[in-house]
Amino acid sequence: MKKLCLFCLLVISAFLNAQSFYKGALVTELNTGFENYNTVLKVKIKDPNRTRDTSYTDRAANTNFGLAVEYGLHKRFGVGVRYKANSYFTSRDSVTKIKPEVKTNDFLIELNYHPVVKKNFDLILGANVGYSTFKYKANDSLNLVLSGGGMYFSPYINPRIYFGRFGINFKLFAPFANYNKLTTNNEDFNTYIAITKWKASGFGMSFGIQYRFLDDKESDTKPIIN
Protein backbone atom coordinates (compact mmCIF):
# COMPACT_ATOMS: atom_id res chain seq x y z
CA MET A 1 0.00 0.00 0.00
CA LYS A 2 2.85 2.32 0.87
CA LYS A 3 4.52 1.63 -2.47
CA LEU A 4 1.24 2.21 -4.32
CA CYS A 5 0.73 5.59 -2.62
CA LEU A 6 4.29 6.61 -3.48
CA PHE A 7 3.78 5.59 -7.09
CA CYS A 8 0.53 7.61 -7.31
CA LEU A 9 2.21 10.68 -5.84
CA LEU A 10 5.01 10.46 -8.37
CA VAL A 11 2.57 10.12 -11.27
CA ILE A 12 0.51 13.11 -10.05
CA SER A 13 3.68 15.16 -9.60
CA ALA A 14 4.83 14.39 -13.13
CA PHE A 15 1.38 15.35 -14.47
CA LEU A 16 1.32 18.66 -12.62
CA ASN A 17 4.84 19.53 -13.75
CA ALA A 18 4.13 18.74 -17.41
CA GLN A 19 5.15 21.50 -19.81
CA SER A 20 3.94 22.33 -23.30
CA PHE A 21 7.53 22.96 -24.51
CA TYR A 22 10.80 21.48 -23.30
CA LYS A 23 14.25 20.36 -24.37
CA GLY A 24 13.83 17.68 -27.01
CA ALA A 25 10.28 18.68 -28.01
CA LEU A 26 9.46 18.45 -31.71
CA VAL A 27 6.53 20.65 -32.78
CA THR A 28 5.03 20.76 -36.27
CA GLU A 29 2.74 23.57 -37.46
CA LEU A 30 0.33 24.27 -40.30
CA ASN A 31 -0.69 27.93 -40.72
CA THR A 32 -2.72 30.18 -42.97
CA GLY A 33 -2.88 33.96 -42.85
CA PHE A 34 -2.40 37.26 -44.63
CA GLU A 35 0.17 40.04 -44.98
CA ASN A 36 -0.39 43.73 -45.75
CA TYR A 37 2.51 45.80 -47.11
CA ASN A 38 3.69 49.26 -48.03
CA THR A 39 5.91 48.80 -51.10
CA VAL A 40 8.60 50.69 -52.99
CA LEU A 41 9.50 49.82 -56.59
CA LYS A 42 12.73 51.27 -58.01
CA VAL A 43 13.14 51.31 -61.79
CA LYS A 44 16.03 52.38 -64.02
CA ILE A 45 14.83 53.54 -67.45
CA LYS A 46 17.50 53.49 -70.17
CA ASP A 47 17.29 55.23 -73.54
CA PRO A 48 19.91 56.38 -76.09
CA ASN A 49 20.16 59.86 -74.61
CA ARG A 50 20.05 59.34 -70.84
CA THR A 51 19.30 57.03 -67.96
CA ARG A 52 16.91 57.99 -65.19
CA ASP A 53 15.90 56.38 -61.91
CA THR A 54 12.27 56.35 -60.81
CA SER A 55 10.56 55.13 -57.63
CA TYR A 56 6.94 54.12 -57.17
CA THR A 57 5.17 53.61 -53.85
CA ASP A 58 2.13 51.40 -53.49
CA ARG A 59 0.37 48.90 -51.25
CA ALA A 60 0.17 45.13 -51.58
CA ALA A 61 -1.44 42.25 -49.70
CA ASN A 62 -1.37 38.49 -49.88
CA THR A 63 -2.83 35.34 -48.42
CA ASN A 64 -0.42 32.60 -47.45
CA PHE A 65 -0.08 29.01 -46.34
CA GLY A 66 2.86 27.64 -44.39
CA LEU A 67 4.27 24.64 -42.60
CA ALA A 68 7.04 24.52 -40.03
CA VAL A 69 8.86 22.32 -37.55
CA GLU A 70 10.60 23.43 -34.33
CA TYR A 71 13.01 21.51 -32.10
CA GLY A 72 13.59 22.35 -28.44
CA LEU A 73 17.27 23.05 -27.75
CA HIS A 74 16.36 24.09 -24.20
CA LYS A 75 13.14 24.49 -22.25
CA ARG A 76 13.20 28.18 -23.22
CA PHE A 77 14.80 28.10 -26.67
CA GLY A 78 13.92 26.41 -29.93
CA VAL A 79 15.13 26.44 -33.52
CA GLY A 80 13.14 25.53 -36.61
CA VAL A 81 12.55 25.79 -40.34
CA ARG A 82 9.51 27.13 -42.18
CA TYR A 83 8.17 27.14 -45.73
CA LYS A 84 5.58 29.77 -46.67
CA ALA A 85 3.76 30.19 -50.01
CA ASN A 86 2.23 33.62 -50.69
CA SER A 87 -0.35 34.60 -53.31
CA TYR A 88 -0.87 38.35 -53.82
CA PHE A 89 -4.13 40.10 -54.60
CA THR A 90 -4.19 41.61 -58.10
CA SER A 91 -6.83 43.51 -60.08
CA ARG A 92 -8.18 42.73 -63.53
CA ASP A 93 -7.47 45.29 -66.26
CA SER A 94 -10.71 47.04 -67.23
CA VAL A 95 -9.77 47.11 -70.95
CA THR A 96 -7.87 43.89 -71.64
CA LYS A 97 -9.62 41.92 -68.88
CA ILE A 98 -6.24 40.40 -68.05
CA LYS A 99 -5.45 39.59 -64.43
CA PRO A 100 -1.76 39.14 -63.56
CA GLU A 101 -0.43 36.71 -60.95
CA VAL A 102 2.11 37.46 -58.23
CA LYS A 103 3.50 34.68 -56.05
CA THR A 104 6.40 34.43 -53.62
CA ASN A 105 7.89 31.51 -51.70
CA ASP A 106 9.78 31.86 -48.42
CA PHE A 107 12.37 29.38 -47.09
CA LEU A 108 13.11 30.41 -43.52
CA ILE A 109 15.07 29.60 -40.38
CA GLU A 110 13.32 30.38 -37.08
CA LEU A 111 14.72 31.22 -33.66
CA ASN A 112 12.22 31.10 -30.79
CA TYR A 113 12.29 32.17 -27.15
CA HIS A 114 9.60 30.72 -24.85
CA PRO A 115 9.19 33.13 -21.87
CA VAL A 116 5.91 31.58 -20.66
CA VAL A 117 5.52 27.79 -20.72
CA LYS A 118 2.59 26.14 -18.96
CA LYS A 119 0.89 22.78 -19.33
CA ASN A 120 -1.62 24.05 -21.91
CA PHE A 121 -0.04 27.34 -22.98
CA ASP A 122 3.20 28.33 -24.68
CA LEU A 123 4.09 31.94 -25.53
CA ILE A 124 6.74 32.44 -28.20
CA LEU A 125 8.77 35.54 -29.06
CA GLY A 126 10.76 34.85 -32.19
CA ALA A 127 12.02 35.82 -35.59
CA ASN A 128 12.54 34.12 -38.91
CA VAL A 129 14.87 35.00 -41.76
CA GLY A 130 15.70 33.46 -45.09
CA TYR A 131 15.51 33.41 -48.86
CA SER A 132 12.41 34.37 -50.83
CA THR A 133 11.58 33.87 -54.51
CA PHE A 134 9.45 36.34 -56.48
CA LYS A 135 7.44 35.68 -59.66
CA TYR A 136 5.11 38.03 -61.53
CA LYS A 137 3.18 36.69 -64.54
CA ALA A 138 1.53 39.38 -66.67
CA ASN A 139 -0.64 36.82 -68.49
CA ASP A 140 -0.47 39.03 -71.58
CA SER A 141 0.13 38.22 -75.25
CA LEU A 142 3.91 38.39 -74.71
CA ASN A 143 3.79 35.98 -71.76
CA LEU A 144 5.89 38.45 -69.78
CA VAL A 145 7.33 36.98 -66.57
CA LEU A 146 9.25 38.99 -63.96
CA SER A 147 11.25 36.91 -61.49
CA GLY A 148 14.08 36.98 -59.00
CA GLY A 149 15.03 36.35 -55.40
CA GLY A 150 15.67 38.23 -52.22
CA MET A 151 15.52 38.29 -48.45
CA TYR A 152 12.61 37.91 -46.02
CA PHE A 153 12.71 38.77 -42.31
CA SER A 154 9.99 38.92 -39.68
CA PRO A 155 9.85 39.23 -35.86
CA TYR A 156 6.68 37.83 -34.27
CA ILE A 157 4.69 36.96 -31.17
CA ASN A 158 3.12 33.51 -31.32
CA PRO A 159 0.91 32.10 -28.51
CA ARG A 160 0.13 28.37 -28.66
CA ILE A 161 -2.76 26.70 -26.84
CA TYR A 162 -2.64 22.94 -26.26
CA PHE A 163 -5.23 20.22 -25.75
CA GLY A 164 -2.88 17.37 -24.99
CA ARG A 165 -0.35 17.07 -27.81
CA PHE A 166 -2.60 18.86 -30.30
CA GLY A 167 -3.25 22.59 -30.25
CA ILE A 168 -4.02 25.85 -32.02
CA ASN A 169 -1.85 28.93 -32.44
CA PHE A 170 -2.06 32.57 -33.44
CA LYS A 171 0.68 34.79 -34.78
CA LEU A 172 1.17 38.56 -35.12
CA PHE A 173 4.24 39.56 -37.11
CA ALA A 174 5.98 42.42 -38.91
CA PRO A 175 7.36 41.11 -42.23
CA PHE A 176 10.01 42.75 -44.38
CA ALA A 177 10.89 41.63 -47.93
CA ASN A 178 13.58 42.92 -50.25
CA TYR A 179 14.15 41.77 -53.86
CA ASN A 180 17.06 43.13 -55.90
CA LYS A 181 17.52 43.09 -59.68
CA LEU A 182 14.34 41.41 -60.83
CA THR A 183 14.56 40.38 -64.49
CA THR A 184 12.09 39.41 -67.19
CA ASN A 185 12.02 36.82 -69.95
CA ASN A 186 11.81 39.63 -72.55
CA GLU A 187 15.22 40.85 -73.74
CA ASP A 188 13.81 44.05 -75.29
CA PHE A 189 12.21 44.95 -71.96
CA ASN A 190 15.46 44.24 -70.10
CA THR A 191 17.42 46.43 -72.54
CA TYR A 192 15.44 49.58 -71.74
CA ILE A 193 14.01 48.94 -68.26
CA ALA A 194 15.79 47.54 -65.21
CA ILE A 195 13.85 46.83 -62.02
CA THR A 196 16.56 47.38 -59.43
CA LYS A 197 14.56 46.85 -56.25
CA TRP A 198 11.15 45.88 -54.90
CA LYS A 199 10.90 46.13 -51.15
CA ALA A 200 7.98 45.80 -48.78
CA SER A 201 7.30 46.22 -45.06
CA GLY A 202 4.09 45.80 -43.13
CA PHE A 203 2.21 43.53 -40.76
CA GLY A 204 0.64 40.10 -40.85
CA MET A 205 -1.59 37.70 -38.93
CA SER A 206 -2.00 33.94 -39.09
CA PHE A 207 -3.91 31.10 -37.49
CA GLY A 208 -2.83 27.48 -37.35
CA ILE A 209 -2.69 24.12 -35.69
CA GLN A 210 0.26 22.30 -34.18
CA TYR A 211 1.18 18.84 -32.91
CA ARG A 212 3.95 18.01 -30.44
CA PHE A 213 6.04 14.87 -30.85
CA LEU A 214 8.52 13.28 -28.41
CA ASP A 215 8.12 13.12 -24.64
CA ASP A 216 9.79 15.30 -22.05
CA LYS A 217 12.54 12.97 -20.83
CA GLU A 218 13.67 15.33 -18.08
CA SER A 219 10.24 15.22 -16.41
CA ASP A 220 10.00 11.43 -16.49
CA THR A 221 9.98 10.11 -12.93
CA LYS A 222 10.49 6.53 -11.92
CA PRO A 223 8.97 5.17 -8.72
CA ILE A 224 11.41 4.07 -6.06
CA ILE A 225 10.54 0.62 -4.73
CA ASN A 226 12.51 -0.80 -1.83
Q: Where are the domains of the chain?
A: 21-217
Bridge partners (DSSP) of residue 22 are none
**Residue 94 has what pLDDT?**
85
Low-confidence ranges of the chain (pLDDT < 70): 1-18, 219-226
* Contact assessment for residue 201 and residue 59, using Cβ atoms and an 8 Å cutoff: no
**Residue 216 has what pLDDT?**
86
**Residue 110 has what pLDDT?**
98
The answer to pTM > 0.95 is: no
**Residue 14 has what pLDDT?**
40
**Residue 203 has what pLDDT?**
98
CATH architecture of 21-217: Beta Barrel (2.40)
**Residue 37 has what pLDDT?**
99
Element (H, E) at 42: strand 26-46
**Amino acid found at 177:** A
Q: Give the CA distances from residue 222 to residues 16, 31, 218, in Å, rounded to whole numbers and listed in that order.
A: 15, 38, 11
Which residues have CB under 8 Å from 152's CB, separation 6+? 106, 108, 128, 129, 130, 131, 132, 175, 176, 177
